[in-house]
Structure formats: structure tokens, C-alpha cells
Amino acid sequence: MDDASIMELFRKRDESAIAELRLKYGRLCLYITGNILSQREDAEECVNSAYFDVWQNIPPDSPDDLKTYLCRIVKNKAIDRLKYNSAEKRNPQLTVSLDELSECIPDNRGEEVSAEELAGLISRFLRTQEERRRRLFVRRYWYGDSLRELAELFGMNERTVATDLYRTREKLKAFLQEEGYYG
């Protein structure tokens, strides 16, 4: 289907317009977002968000070149997502540290324990730990410090920091099991 026909479907508010747009330009859009973003899920989300924007904006917009119009929206979405993913609070190091923590605090816990109760349990657990391990844990999982930064801050070897954090996570998991967190 040509661009003029797709535009006409948008003007008529025919939902098949999005399907036709995806069919004609979907691979191009994924190529553009894929060159900007490293995560395929992020790239696909940007493309889908761009389709929604096109649906919302045509009419009243009436672009002369649908392909260029769509590609501009897709590229801007991808750049915005890259900025979002690169923000200091969302850096990959923080994602890695939260993945480590998920080993002892799974998502499938049911509704018995609220986030506030879980925070209380973790605080109670941390008070039972020696100060260095408690501080390492908080710096890693609250502030998102890297292993290298922690090693420098505490005058330790990176491997020792990683081992201490692993042991603390294992102790936390056992503590949460004792407290009935795991079903």
C-alpha cells in the first residue's frame, strides 16, 4: 500500500492504518531504533510509541512525506529512551546491583508482605550485621556504587567486596526465609 493510501486510512480513523504502517515501515523503524538503543525491548517500545503518536497526530498533521515523518518520530523516541536509560539514577551498574539483590528478594512473593514490611525486615537484618558489611550492602544496593568504587572506598580488593556482598545476600535470604517471607 502506498503512503497516500495509508494517510487516507489515518484521516478516516481506520485502525488498519497502523497495521499498514507497520507492514511497510516496521523493519526500517526497528533498524533506526536498534542503532540507537542496545535493548531490543526498548527499540520495539519506541516504535510502538511512535505508531501511537502518528495515530494521535494525523489528523490534524498532514505530512508530505510519511516515511520521513515516521522516522523522525521514531528517532526522537529512541534518543529520549537513550537519555532516560543513561540518566545517573538508571545507569547499567545500578541495574546489575538490583539484579544481584533480586536473587534473595524474588518478585513472586505473594501479597503477604508489603514493601514497607519488607524494608523493615531488611533494616532489622542489617542491624545484626557487622558495620563494614552493613555499609557495603547499603552503598551497593541503595546508592548503586560499583564494586570498584566500594573497593577503593573501603580499602579492599574488588573480589573481597564481591564475596562479602554475596555472603550478606545469602544471609539475608536465610533471614527472610526464617521470617516467613518465602512461601
Would you give the end-to-end CA distance of the chain in angstroms?
A: 55
More confident residue, 96 or 59: 59
**In Å, how far are 113, 114, 124, 129, 135 from 120, measured between CA atoms?**
10, 10, 6, 15, 17
Tell me what the mean pLDDT of segment 24-38 comes to.
89
> What is the average pLDDT value for the chain, to the nearest integer?
85
Q: In b/e form, how buried is each residue of 2-11, taking b as 16+ CB within 10 angstroms?
A: ebeebbebbe
pTM of the model: 0.50
Q: Is the pLDDT of residue 127 over 80?
A: yes
User: What does the alpha-carbon distance between residue 142 and residue 135 come to, in Å, rounded to a whole number?
Assistant: 10
Q: Where residue 44 falls among pLDDT bands split at 50, 70, 90?
A: very high
d(CA 61, CA 112) in angstroms, rounded, equals 50
Per residue in 79-121, pLDDT (tens digit) is 889 888 776 544 555 455 666 777 777 654 455 566 678 778 8
> So what's the pLDDT on residue 98?
61
pLDDT: which is higher, 117 or 74: 74
Ordered structural domains, the chain, with CATH: 3-86 (1.10.1740.10), 92-178 (1.10.10.10)
Q: Which three cell numbers stand for residue 38?
A: 542496545
| pLDDT tens digits, one per residue of 167-177 | 999 999 999 88
Report which of residues 39 and 141 the model is more confident about: 39
Share of residues in the chain with pLDDT > 90 (%):
54
